[in-house]
Amino acid sequence: MNEARIKPLDPPYSTPIAAALDRIMPAGVPPLVLFRTVANNERVFLRLMASGLLDRGSLGMRERELVIDRTCFLCGSEYEWGVHVAFFGTRVGLTETEVRELQSNDPSRAVFSEREHLLLELCDQLHTRATIGDALWTKLSATYTPEQLIELVVLAGYYHTISFVTNALRLPLEPFASRFSAPRPSP
């Protein structure tokens, strides 16, 4: 990867940025390059952090992670995909096979439950079409509540945005993060 296009901020941070970083980063873990880079624009950073969707929403943590990981892979954001797989993969019970399948052109229906496969199809359709077809929507709406459907679409869109940031700013990969094992998708 090329050098980052914008240098990440180094401490000391402004009071609002320091407070946000303290709130979102686990104790003892230094702030991510993504956060320190976006913090060059305090207004955008604070709004981006305020709109995070990793809280207790209407979806389970595993469902959220599947949508995040698949979306980031489809967008070619090895940075964000790798951070999520490293931080949350084992916490949500992702196996090595599942992580590998999340990086395939057509994730195996045998590896994921029917409900999880619907989520992966949602990510694929939103990524390629910027909408969801009627057949998939019918299946999704029979499985998920309207509240959950809204969260799923917004979650995928949010991580498209994060992927745009990590890719466009050419953020260097975090040393602890997982790496793609499949070829990066073509832009």
Same domain membership, residue 99 and residue 43: no
* pLDDT-derived band at 22, boundaries 50, 70, 90: very high
Same domain membership, residue 160 and residue 85: yes
Asked whether residue 92 is assigned to any structural domain, the reply reads yes
Same domain membership, residue 74 and residue 144: yes
Residue-wise pLDDT tens digits, 112-152: 999 999 999 999 999 999 999 999 999 999 999 999 999 99
* Enclosing domain of residue 95: 61-168
SS (H, E, C) 90-106: CCCCCCHHHHHHCCCCC
Check residue 60 and report its DSSP letter: -
Say what the pLDDT of residue 49 is: 86
Angstrom distances, CA of residue 152 to CA of 66, 117, 133, 140 = 11, 13, 15, 10
Same domain membership, residue 21 and residue 82: no
Same domain membership, residue 150 and residue 75: yes
Q: Report the candidate in 158, 19, 163 with the shortest Cα–Cα distance to residue 82.
A: 163
Same domain membership, residue 149 and residue 98: yes
Q: Return the H-helix or E-strand segment holding 124.
A: helix 114-129
Asked whether residue 6 is assigned to any structural domain, the reply reads no
Same domain membership, residue 157 and residue 72: yes
DSSP SS3 for 94: coil
Cα–Cα distance between 169 and 177 in angstroms, integer? 18
Say what the pLDDT of residue 108 is: 80
Residue with the larger pLDDT of the pair 51 and 172: 172
Same domain membership, residue 144 and residue 99: yes
Asked whether residue 173 is assigned to any structural domain, the reply reads no
Cα–Cα distance between 82 and 145 in angstroms, integer? 30
Asked whether residue 182 is assigned to any structural domain, the reply reads no
